[in-house]
Each structure stands twice: as structure tokens, then as C-alpha cells.
Amino acid sequence: MGEYVHLGRIWDYDLANPNSGRILTDDGALFDQLLHDGKPALCFAAHLGNWELPALAAVAHGMPSAVVYRMPNNKAVAKEITRIRAPLMGRLIRTRSQAALEMAAALEAGEHLGMLVDQHFSRGVEVTFFGRRCRANPSIARLAKRFDCPIVGVHVERLPDRRFRIVGTGPIEPARDAAGQIDVQATTQAITTIVEGWIRANPGQWLWFHRRWR
């Protein structure tokens, strides 16, 4: 929470002098590919470290982007968070009935669509997460099936001395059925397994407020 009000000043990654500030990454080539390949992309993330930073990175380096987010229940808090996010994170897509249409429009416009995928999704598909069955959001897989665009994962590792490492994963190859079409459930499972690996590597950095298994 302390970092949130300073989001506009935290990102200091310099393309000309990489890893010279508080933001570190070894995946510059992947991010450069996303920036210059002329394609939209689907980006999944989890509540690890400061999970807002990947959205800042996209806008800071000229990558057209959109972010899916859940509006807080407290209206005053929601208004302030929107005020902070709006100039920093590109298109903001609130989770609601028309969100699917807005996500599709973002990809049609060539934007990079990011969302957090590590929480319970009641209308989701069944996956195995840490050895237990639960439901996960299949939106990434469904949109990939429709738009056939790259899928990448991005997560943040909190480091000593107020620094952060941005880690990219992919592009990942979606699972396909016998007809060659993207298998939504299997692809969602692959994404969930990647997220589980991130959390196993840094379990103390996973912020988990909600009942993930129900």
C-alpha cells in the first residue's frame, strides 16, 4: 500500500542503461520482441511482489496496452486507485458483464492485454493448483483461440534494497486438440502450472487474501 501512491515514480528502467536503477530484468529481448513484433499479445500475471509494475512497464516504453482489473468495493478507494492508474497503465478494463467485449476490442486494436490469473473464478474451468482442484479464469486461453496471438507470463520478484526484478515467461505454446484448435482447459492448466512454479520459488511474496480452493 505504501508503494501504491508512488507508482508514478517507482519505474526507472532505462533502455540505454539497463539494470542501473531499482528495476532489473534479464528478459529485455522478450519485451523488445513484444514491443516491435506488430502483434497484440496476452499477458498473464499473479499477485507476486509489486504486481502493478508490468503494467507500468508497457506504457513507459510505448507499448499499447490494456489492463483488466477488479474495482474495489469501497467507492472512495476505487476512485483514488483509478486516478492513480489511469495515466500510467493504458486502457483500463473493469471486470463486469461487458469486459469480454472490451478485451476483444483491445486485441483487435493491437494492444497487449494483461490480467491477473491466480484467484478463484467461479465461472472458470477446473484445474489442479498445488495438488488440489479449483477453478481458474480461462479468458487468456479463450482469447488466444480467437485471436491466435502470443501468450506470455510476467511476474515481479521483490529484491533487497527497494529493488524489483521483472521476469518474463514465454511466449508459451498453447495446448491444442486433435483438430489443431487451442484447448482452453489444457492451456489454462498450463498457465496455472507456470503460476504455481512462480509461487513455489517465492512463496512469501504471494499475496493471497481470497479462498483459492472452494
pLDDT digits (tens, 9 = 90+) for 165-187: 999 998 999 999 999 999 999 99
Structure letter (DSSP) for residue 176: B
Residue 196 has pLDDT above 90, yes or no: yes
Which comes out higher in pLDDT, residue 90 or 118?
A: 118
The three-state secondary structure class of 51 is coil
Residue 114 has pLDDT above 80, yes or no: yes
Listed in sequence order, the residues at least 6 apart from 139 whose beta carbon sits closer than 8 Å to its beta carbon are 68, 100, 103, 115
Give residue 71's pLDDT: 74
The three-state secondary structure class of 145 is helix
pLDDT classification of 86: cutoffs 50, 70, 90: low
Q: Residue written as cell 485471436?
A: 147
Residue 60 has pLDDT above 90, yes or no: no
Q: Lowest mean pLDDT of 23-32, 114-123, 150-159, name the range.
A: 23-32
Give residue 69's pLDDT: 78
C-alpha cell at 26: 534479464
Q: Which amino acid is at 67?
A: V
* Contact between 142 and 71 (Cβ < 8 Å): no
Residue 204 has pLDDT above 80, yes or no: yes
Q: Residue written as cell 476483444?
A: 104
Rama region for 180: left / alpha / beta (φ>0; ψ in -120 to 50; rest): left
Listed in sequence order, the residues at least 6 apart from 204 whose beta carbon sits closer than 8 Å to its beta carbon are none
Which comes out higher in pLDDT, residue 69 or 202?
A: 202
C-alpha cell at 149: 496471438
C-alpha cell at 33: 520482441
Element (H, E) at 43: strand 41-45
pLDDT classification of 81: cutoffs 50, 70, 90: confident
Q: Other CB atoms closer than 10 Å to residue 144's CB: what's the count?
A: 21
Mean pLDDT value across residues 36-49: 92
Q: What angle do CA 133, 137, 138 make, to 5 degrees?
A: 105
Which comes out higher in pLDDT, residue 30 or 182?
A: 182
Residue 31 has pLDDT above 80, yes or no: yes
C-alpha cell at 203: 512463496
Q: What is the pTM of this model?
A: 0.90
Percent helix, strand, coil in the chain, to 5, is: 35, 25, 40
